[in-house]
Chain A
Amino acid sequence: MQQNLSSTEPIVSLHNVQKSFGPLRVLDGVSFTVARGEVLALIGRSGSGKSTALRCIDRFEKVDGGEIVVCGHRVDRPDVDLRALRQDVGIVFQSYNLFPHLTIEQNITLAPCAVKGMAASQAKDLARKVLAQVGLEEKLHAYPEQLSGGQQQRAAIARSLAMQPKVMLFDEVTSALDPELTAEVLKVIEQLAADGMTMVMVTHEMGFAKGIADRIVFMHRGKVHETGPASILTSPTTPELTQFVGTGNLKS
């Protein structure tokens, strides 16, 4: 399945993607691409289909039509190699979802050992490295419930990083956090962007999106309603985006 990726080929591309839940059409011909090293922010009103679009990329939802290619995997095809796809894609959710019965170190080393067959000692070194990346070295042996929400979310990011994904997906990873904890998580994501990680993030933090995103995709009623560089947030062209950024969503 996996083709050799040329450096110009997009890491993620969606073309005319359709998705319905029963009678409800959630994605109605969504198309966008994400180039290597690019940060794309998905924004839009609640229910506009942002999470669904993101989940389609990692095949947590099967699409009804259209084409999705991620790191050379044809995600829209039924025969896609899910395990290969998910080794190339890291996903972080709003609700952290750390495994409560495992220490932070065990949370991080589980997948590299079980999926990639990495030796335990090597995986432990890796755990230290990715935890340092998110500023949590001292929590190696703590259990998730001993961490604050912001720390848990950073640990979840570290857990994803340990699989060395080619692209990271973030679905409103700070929505459950208060402003102070939000800031520490956003700092980690900023650093990842600076390190050249390819990212797709659904976010309500407009100020953050403006500062970090190379491109904005504004979704409205299951369609990409407006897209462009971060500057469209300050000078939107469609009335819907104008209204969206005008209703107090744009804070720094």
Chain B
Amino acid sequence: MNLQLDFPAVLERWPSFLAGAALTLELAFFATVLGALLGTLAAVGRGTRNSLIAGACKVYVETIRNTPLLVQIFLVYFGLASLGLKYSAFTVAVAALTINVGAYTAEIMRAGFEAIPRGQIEAAEGLALSRLQIYWHIILLPAIEKVYPALTSQFVLLMLASSVCSQISAEELTAVANYIQSDTYRAFETYIIVAVLYVILSLVMRAGFWSLGLVLFPRRRRLGTPL
């Protein structure tokens, strides 16, 4: 065995790695925010009495959960192109990732909604709160709280999965790596660095969610109960 690693040759490209990592984080950020919104709406939709809306939400969730992310990305990418619409690779990537993570968020949020005791909702109805007010004040935060670990894991997974966006030449971390390794012929070193960077990004995201949890769930902070 003759393993010779030459990290300096690769590391001198650090500005490119950094730019790629930043773009990955940016992708993950937008897709998380938009996907959380989309998924929550889809979860609410699945629970409505309107069977048309409930059915549409179910079809969306099940279709996405049963197709590969890369295929979804190509569908959005080539779909928009064939409609004559021209968007940047970044926009397409955010759109595809949002649609993808929205479906998983919907499933998780649905479990959260179902975990709210019926009595809570009846008490709110008894106080004359409207349906919308009940969702907003009574159901939403406790539901998120119940599934917060699952949600945050899903969003971290999304960030990792965003590496397939290199396929439509969004200049995120994996795309940058592909480019650097073909340029330097130092594939192993390149991907070791990329792996380390992904770990760091994951830790950054988890720290972010942990801080967000402190803001969202003040009771946990007051009573010292961990999530």
Q: Is A52 an interface residue (CB 8 A)?
A: no
B127 touches A95 (CB 8 A): no
B117 partner residues in chain A, CB cutoff 8 A: 97
How many residue-residue contacts, CB under 8 A, span A and B? 63
Q: Is A100 an interface residue (CB 8 A)?
A: yes
Q: Is A49 an interface residue (CB 8 A)?
A: no
Given contacts A93-B119, A97-B123, contact A86 B219 (CB under 8 A): no
A111 touches B141 (CB 8 A): no
Q: Is A105 an interface residue (CB 8 A)?
A: no
Q: Among B125, B128, B142, point to the contact of A60 (Cβ < 8 A).
A: B125
Q: Among A84, A114, A156, point to the contact of B129 (Cβ < 8 A).
A: A114
Give the shortest distance, in Å, between A29 (CB) and chain B (any CB): 26
Q: Is A160 an interface residue (CB 8 A)?
A: yes
Complex Cα–Cα for A9 and B124 (A): 29
Q: Among B120, B122, B127, B138, point to the contact of A115 (Cβ < 8 A).
A: B127
Q: Is B26 an interface residue (CB 8 A)?
A: no
Give the shortest distance, in Å, between A46 (CB) and chain B (any CB): 19
Q: Among A83, A100, A101, A146, point to the contact of B128 (Cβ < 8 A).
A: A83
Q: Is A32 an interface residue (CB 8 A)?
A: no
Q: Among A84, A101, A145, A160, point to the contact of B127 (Cβ < 8 A).
A: A160
Give the shortest distance, in Å, between A92 (CB) and chain B (any CB): 8
Give the shortest distance, in Å, between B160 (CB) and chain A (any CB): 31
Complex Cα–Cα for A91 and B120 (A): 13
Per-position 1/0 for A138-168, Cβ under 8 A of B: 0000010110000000001001100100000
Size of the A side of the interface (Cβ < 8 Å), in residues, is 28
Interface residues of A (CB under 8 A from B): 58, 60, 82-84, 86-87, 89-91, 93, 95, 97-101, 110-111, 114-115, 143, 145-146, 156, 159-160, 163
Complex Cα–Cα for A87 and B126 (A): 8
B141 partner residues in chain A, CB cutoff 8 A: 101
- A–B complex contacts, Cβ < 8 Å, 8 sampled: A83-B130, A86-B126, A89-B126, A97-B117, A97-B120, A101-B145, A115-B127, A146-B223
Q: Which chain A residue has the least Cβ–Cβ distance from B136?
A: A114
Q: Among A60, A84, A101, A145, point to the contact of B122 (Cβ < 8 A).
A: A60
Complex Cα–Cα for A100 and B142 (A): 8
Per-position 1/0 for B201-227, Cβ under 8 A of A: 000000000000000010100110000
Complex Cα–Cα for A83 and B92 (A): 45
Complex Cα–Cα for A87 and B128 (A): 6
Q: Among B122, B138, B145, point to the contact of A93 (Cβ < 8 A).
A: B122
B223 partner residues in chain A, CB cutoff 8 A: 143, 145-146
Q: Is B48 an interface residue (CB 8 A)?
A: no
Q: Which chain B residue has the least Cβ–Cβ distance from A59?
A: B125
B217 touches A97 (CB 8 A): no
B13 partner residues in chain A, CB cutoff 8 A: none
- List the 10 closest A-B pairs by CB distance, nearest first: A97-B123, A111-B127, A86-B128, A97-B119, A91-B126, A115-B128, A87-B128, A83-B128, A143-B219, A101-B142
